[in-house]
Chain A
Amino acid sequence: QVQLVQSGAEVKKPGASVKVSCKTSGYTFTAYFMNWVRQAPGQGLEWIGWINPNSGETSYAQRSQGRVTLTRDTSISTAYMEVSSLTSDDTAVYYCARGSYTWSLDYWGPGTLVTVSS
Chain B
Amino acid sequence: EIVLTQSPGTLSLSPGERATLSCRASQSVSNSYLAWYQQKPGQAPRLLIYGASNRATGIPDRFSGSGSGTDFTLSISRLEPEDFAVYYCQQYGSSPFTFGPGSKVDIK
Does the CB pair A110–B90 fall under 8 Å?
no
Chain A: minimal CB distance from B25 (Å)? 15
Q: A105-B35, A105-B37, A105-B90 are in contact. Are A47 and B98 (CB under 8 A)?
A: yes
Does the CB pair B45–A108 fall under 8 Å?
yes
Does the CB pair A47–B44 fall under 8 Å?
no
For residue B88, which residues in chain A have a CB less than 8 angstroms away from its CB?
Answer: 44-45
Query: Quick check: is B69 within 8 A (CB to CB) of the other chain?
Result: no
List 21 contacting pairs A-B, 8 Å CB cutoff, sorted by A.
Answer: A44-B88, A44-B100, A45-B37, A45-B99, A47-B98, A61-B95, A61-B96, A95-B44, A100-B50, A102-B33, A102-B50, A102-B51, A104-B47, A104-B56, A104-B90, A104-B92, A105-B35, A105-B47, A105-B90, A106-B56, A109-B44
For residue B92, which residues in chain A have a CB less than 8 angstroms away from its CB?
Answer: 103-104
For residue B35, which residues in chain A have a CB less than 8 angstroms away from its CB?
Answer: 104-105
Q: Count of A-B contacts with CB under 8 A? A: 63
> Considering only CB atoms, which chain B residue lies closest to A111 in the complex?
B44
Q: A44-B88, A45-B90, A111-B44 are in contact. Are A103 and B33 (CB under 8 A)?
A: yes
Distance in angstroms between the alpha carbons of A102 and B57 in the assembled complex: 13
Query: Quick check: is B101 within 8 A (CB to CB) of the other chain?
Result: yes
- By the criterion of a CB under 8 Å from any partner CB, how many residues of chain B are at the interface? 25
Mark each residue of chain A from 20 to 50: 1 if its CB lies under 8 Å from any CB of chain B, else 0: 0000000000000001010000001111001
Mark each residue of chain A from 73 to 111: 1 if its CB lies under 8 Å from any CB of chain B, else 0: 000000000000000000000010100101111101111
Q: A102-B51, A104-B92, A105-B90 are in contact. Are A44 and B99 (CB under 8 A)?
A: yes
Residues on B close to A: CB < 8 A? 1, 33, 35, 37, 39, 44-47, 50-51, 54, 56-57, 88, 90, 92, 95-102
Chain A: minimal CB distance from B39 (Å)? 8
Query: Quick check: is A62 within 8 A (CB to CB) of the other chain?
Result: yes
For residue A110, which residues in chain B have a CB less than 8 angstroms away from its CB?
Answer: 44
Does the CB pair A44–B102 fall under 8 Å?
yes
For residue A46, which residues in chain B have a CB less than 8 angstroms away from its CB?
Answer: 99
